[in-house]
Amino acid sequence: MDQPDLPAIARRLSAARSEVEARGGTFYQGPSRVNLASFPPKERWDDWVELESKAWPERLEKRYMLVPTTCFNCESACGLLAYVDKDTLQVRKFEGNPEHPGSRGRNCAKGPATLNQITDPDRILHPLKRAGARGEGRWEQVSWDEALDDIAARLRKAIGEQRHN
């Protein structure tokens, strides 16, 4: 197995890293081990300017805030960054979160595809509480306060009764 020239890569990366760090940013090294970062420096996530791919080759700048969140498509719960458009407050895309201790910026196909679910017409928009018997499929809309209070009370009761499972 041929090994890349590691010292040269290290020199180049450290050059790119110091360039970013000189501007007060964290340099996230990508898998290609080149002077390209895999993610914007976290110091600039609040106000990140990016070129819009749809307008290419016109260099159209878009302002985003990058909001860390979690992928909800399986129990691995990998980290995601939501790119929230500062003008419209719409989520433009999801990328991985390099600061997430589990996924460290990587995702499977489901991560970026989370974009489909946040605008899915069938998505659940409010907390729903079961209204009839289990499996009956009847639900009523409740407030977040009501949902959290109800669940917290049940948890507290279970803990009080030593029901740890």
Residues that bind other proteins (CB under 8 A): 2-5, 8-9, 12, 15-16, 19-20, 23, 25, 27, 30-41, 44, 47-54, 56-59, 61, 93-96, 105-113, 115
Residue closer to other proteins, measured from CB, 14 or 141:
14
Residue closer to other proteins, measured from CB, 22 or 133:
22
| Phi, psi values for residue 89, rounded to 5° | 60, 20
Shortest separation between residue 98's beta carbon and other proteins, angstroms: 9
Alpha helical stretches, state H, 5-163: 6-22, 110-118, 144-160
Shortest separation between residue 153's beta carbon and other proteins, angstroms: 40
Give the span between the Cα atoms of 125 and 134, in whole angstroms: 21
Residue closer to other proteins, measured from CB, 16 or 142:
16
CA 36, 108, 100, 10 dihedral sign is: negative
How would you classify the pairing of strands 48-51 and 61-70?
A: antiparallel
Residue closer to other proteins, measured from CB, 90 or 141:
90
